[in-house]
Amino acid sequence: MSDSKVFDILVVGGGMTGTALALGLSQQGWKTGLIEAGERAALLQDPAPVQSVADFEPRVSAISMASQQLLDSLGAWECVTAGRHCPYQGMTVWDGDGTGRIHFEAAELQARALGTIVENRSIVRALFAAVEGSAVELIDGAQVTGSWLDGDQRGIELAGGRKLSARLVVAADGAHSRMRQWAGLPTREWDYDQQAIVCTVRTSQSHRYTAWQRFSQTGPLAFLPLATETGDENVCSIVWSQDTHEARRLMALDDAMFTAELERAIERELGVVEAISKRFAFPLRQRHAKDYIAPGFALVGDAAHTIHPLAGQGANLGYGDVRVLMEELLKAKSAGLSPANELVLARYQRRRKGENLTMMAAMEGFKQLFGRDELPLRWIRNAGMRWLDGLGPIKNRIAAEAMGLII
Ligand SMILES: Cc1cc2nc3c(=O)[nH]c(=O)nc-3n(C[C@H](O)[C@H](O)[C@H](O)COP(=O)(O)OP(=O)(O)OC[C@H]3O[C@@H](n4cnc5c(N)ncnc54)[C@H](O)[C@@H]3O)c2cc1C
């Protein structure tokens, strides 16, 4: 079965990245399709009000101000903020094996918040709600099973045999992107030999709208503040990245033993852990596509790069890709060029690769710096943190850039 309709742009993957891109490109006037394996009804479903920690989605993201602005410009942020979301005003990072500690405060950066913690599904839901009222043609419940170059178009085959084509196909199908493989774009990747344990907890003390991160030799532990419908300030999402053998040991503990270890690891900054949801463990792997583009094809989001979650930047990098690809495609539209124009795609790749690689290198540097126990390194990182903490304006400038307050 072949579909005679040719899209300007087909986006494959309706996660946080692909849905935002499809929406933005359709708003620019491109004839845009969005293909997503999940079903529309499920993606648009309202989250149930929180009764217990188990009602939160385990995967949450710290959405930077830059990403918020993008979602706002697409008409989706209002829907996100109408539901559960937690703007955080503070961030405290410290070295569990030393005395170094650094604290950032939104007010010192002249910002209302450093970012907002949101459940991933709430962002996807808000974007799908915006897609509903847009010109995007949503092809949901559809698994792409093949993709190929066909003259100056790209063909796509869906499970069941339906075929579609577009001048430009953008793959936003996540870390294990089949689209990337079909386009013949290799990756450079390495295993961190770590797993991230994620779950939701209730603590006896308020999170004080602060993101807490303690580094230790075996990996970082983050407590990210969550908001409930009733204004409860005692619920946090945790991301505990640990060396694989240690993560396996922690996952095998019963809830009481796990929470006891968790309290110890966060140095009881938030008091007693009173309740805990089911735990999930994600293997951590750094991936970077050597090229983001091929004729009539581009990668965005996790399909192009995955990084360690220690600074919560994965989705934000994806939104950086979306912003730049939209900018380049808008210029192409104004100039009457095809969305698959080689120079347009090359400019997208050039602008994003450098920034993504810089962030990936910084994450790797952090991980190495805190993963070592040699005395000189411990001294450098602890002295460095204390020194930076004392440098008000410089510290704030660095933080503002890192948190996307300066675009
Ligand atoms: C433990 C952990 C914590 C994290 N914390 C943060 C954080 O605090 N802040 C942050 O910014 N990032 C964070 N991240 C990263 C963030 O979750 C990802 O970067 C983000 O979800 C990637 O979004 P995406 O849309 O690119 O890919 P995905 O979310 O993987 O979406 C891909 C979509 O493509 C669809 N799809 C796949 N294959 C096909 C196919 N063949 N046909 C049709 N559809 C298909 C899927 O159904 C899915 O909807 C974290 C990651 C981990 C592992």
What digits encode the pLDDT tens for the residues 45-80? 988 888 899 999 999 999 999 999 999 999 999 999
Q: Tell which one of 19, 61, 212 to mutate to probe ligand 1, the residue whose CB is within 8 A of the most ligand atoms.
A: 61
For ligand 1, say whether the CB of 33 is within 6 Å of any of its atoms: no
> Which stretch of 232-236, 245-249, 402-406 has the lowest confidence by average pLDDT?
402-406
Q: Which atom of ligand 1 is nearest to the CA of 318?
A: 26
Three-state secondary structure call for residue 401:
helix
Domain boundaries, the chain: 2-46+54-402
Determine what percent of the chain is predicted with pLDDT higher than 90: 73
Q: Whose CA is nearest to atom 49 of ligand 1?
A: 15
Report which ligand 1 atom has the smallest distance to the Cα of 179: 41
145-174 burial, b at 16+ Cβ within 10 Å, e below that, comes to eebebeeebbbbbbeeeeebbbbbbbbbbb
Ligand 1 atom nearest residue 35's Cα: 43
pLDDT at 98 over 50: yes
Distance of CA 98 from the midpoint of ligand 1 (Å) = 34
User: What are 4-22's pLDDT values in tens digits?
Assistant: 678 999 999 999 999 999 9
Does ligand 1 lie within 6 Å of residue 141's CB atom?
no
Looking at the CA of residue 196, tell me the nearest atom of ligand 1: 1
Residue having the nearest C-alpha atom to atom 15 of ligand 1 = 314
Q: How confident is the model at residue 132 (pLDDT cuts 50, 70, 90)?
A: very high
Share the mean pLDDT of the chain.
91
| Closest residue CA from atom 37 of ligand 1 | 173
Which residue puts its alpha carbon closest to atom 3 of ligand 1? 309
DSSP string, 336-354: T--TT-HHHHHHHHHHHHH
Of 25-29, 300-304, 401-405, the least confident: 401-405
Q: Is the pLDDT of residue 42 over 60?
A: yes
Q: 3-state class of 319 per DSSP?
A: helix
The reported pTM is 0.92
CA–CA distances in Å: residue 64 to residues 42, 97, 349, 379, 394: 26, 29, 22, 31, 20
CA of 335 from ligand 1 middle (Å) equals 33
User: In terms of Cα–Cα distance, which of 226, 206, 230 is closest to 277?
Assistant: 226
Say what the pLDDT of residue 407 is.
47
How far away, in angstroms, is 386 Cα from ligand 1 center?
A: 35
- The structural architecture, per CATH, of the domain 2-46+54-402 is 3-Layer(bba) Sandwich (3.50)
Burial of 23 (0-12, 13-18, 19+ CB in 10 A): buried
Rounded mean pLDDT of 124-136? Answer: 97
Centre of ligand 1 to C-alpha 175, Å, is: 7
The maximal CA–CA distance of the chain, rounded, in angstroms, is: 67
Q: Cα separation of 141 and 205, whole Å?
A: 43
Cβ of 147 below 6 Å from ligand 1: no
